[in-house]
Amino acid sequence: MIEAAVIGVGQTKYEAKRRDVSMGGLVRKAIDKAMLAAEVDWDAIDAVILGKAPDMFEGVMMPELSLVDAIGANGKPLLRVHTAGSVGGSTAVIAASHVCSGNFDTVLTVTYEKQSESNATWALSPKYPYSPHINAGAGGYFAPYMREYIRRYDAPENIGWKVAVKDRLNALKNPLAHLQIPGIDENMVAETPMLWEPLRYLESCPSSDGACAMVISNKKLAESRNAAWIKGMAVRSEGTLSAGRDEVNPQGGQDCAKDIYDQAGITNPFKEIDCAEIYVPFSWYEPMWLENLHFCDLGEGWKLTEKGATEIEGDIPFNMSGGVLSSNPIGASGMIRFGEACLQVTNQAGDHQVDGANVAMGHAYGGAAQFFAMWIVSNKK
């Protein structure tokens, strides 16, 4: 059994360009909010765990070192985590593991990206030696997987538009979300330019600046607070260039989900999980992950999306905060999912709160859809 709980979540406002703050200022804003929510002072923090996506995104190598004062890690154990786009999730799992180890009562964890200080799309698609320069950003890399999903299950084109609309309507209920597009509908999405077929502009995530922090503690502090108890957590990875790999439904994701459900005693995730924040940077990943995470049978994911099951009022709400499709400070995007799951079960999600949410899931994936991190949180110890 996991003896750790999230006692405070802090997020910045997500924007295309946070020019009012430096990287240090950005992470500190999230940390201050998390510590305020957790009702803890610096004396209570025993270690700091920082995560972010590749250093080349901003061109600052090992930023955990230059940020040491901003993140309050001076004189304290400090660890940096990096697992591509899933890093926000795996950082949360690793921070919680440190609490579970018994060596730390309370751990501060923070993740961020300041995408405006570089260009992540092209940082992800350099010309590699000895090979043709073809790939055009993460969307270009994932689009063939989505194409294969559509072919395999004969999914209609507008499913992607539907996800794009649903998440942006949710974002209108989250004042921290980057994209705020009043009046968005399927026609508006369908009329935006095609980027990487089948993905249109509004079916893709934005490029954001932002940070997310959490304070994770054991029962000594958590029992007297409005805490989100971690019931199951796991990470998995799989080889990108492995024969037999199914990019549409990766084994690593299936196994990771099964692991956290077993830990949490969940046998029917569709029924027993009240809502989920799932890493959907491109529209088609919603139906794909519905299936990969065992919320439904293969080929049924797009039908759940089609009938509105993933809307805030639906059977299994996905991405109430607006999700990665509305805010994407890459390094933080996974932790935002994990933190938003905590806000839901502690009834702190504001206008995007799911009524009566007791059990929620946070999920992140990254790399070539080969890194996975997930957790289940509950308001009951």
Query: Which residues of this protein are in contact with another protein, per CB under 8 A?
Result: 19, 59, 122, 125, 127, 129-137, 140, 143-145, 147-148, 151-152, 193-199, 238-245
The nearest distance, CB 280 to another protein, in angstroms, is 18
- β-pair type (209-217, 5-11): antiparallel
Measured from the CB atom, the residue of 247 and 286 that comes closer to another protein is 247
Query: ∠ at Cα 214 (172, 70), nearest 5°?
Result: 105
The nearest distance, CB 131 to another protein, in angstroms, is 5
Measured from the CB atom, the residue of 75 and 244 that comes closer to another protein is 244
- CA nearest to 106, candidates 173, 6, 251: 6
- CA nearest to 253, candidates 281, 278, 284, 283: 278
Task: Give just the sign of the alpha carbon dihedral 276, 277, 283, 285.
Answer: negative
User: 89 with 362: CB under 8 angstroms?
Assistant: yes
Q: Is the peptide bond before 198 cis (omega within 30 degrees of 0)?
A: yes
Q: How far apart are CA 57 and CA 175, in angstroms?
A: 26
Q: How far apart are CA 84 and CA 333, in angstroms?
A: 11
Measured from the CB atom, the residue of 143 and 336 that comes closer to another protein is 143
Task: Give just the sign of the alpha carbon dihedral 86, 89, 95, 96.
Answer: negative
Q: How far apart are CA 238 and CA 241, in angstroms?
A: 9
The nearest distance, CB 197 to another protein, in angstroms, is 4
The nearest distance, CB 368 to another protein, in angstroms, is 11
Q: How far apart are CA 354 and CA 20, in angstroms?
A: 33
User: Under 8 Å CB-to-CB from 1, ≥6 apart: which residues?
Assistant: none
- Residue 189, token pair as written in the block: 């999405």
Query: ∠ at Cα 82 (377, 332), nearest 5°?
Result: 55
Measured from the CB atom, the residue of 202 and 264 that comes closer to another protein is 202
The nearest distance, CB 371 to another protein, in angstroms, is 14
Query: Which residue shows structure tokens 């991405």?
Result: 319
Measured from the CB atom, the residue of 19 and 307 that comes closer to another protein is 19
The nearest distance, CB 4 to another protein, in angstroms, is 32
The nearest distance, CB 160 to another protein, in angstroms, is 13
The nearest distance, CB 333 to another protein, in angstroms, is 22
Q: How far apart are CA 344 and CA 132, in angstroms?
A: 46
Residue 323: in which H helix or E strand, if any?
A: none
The nearest distance, CB 16 to another protein, in angstroms, is 13
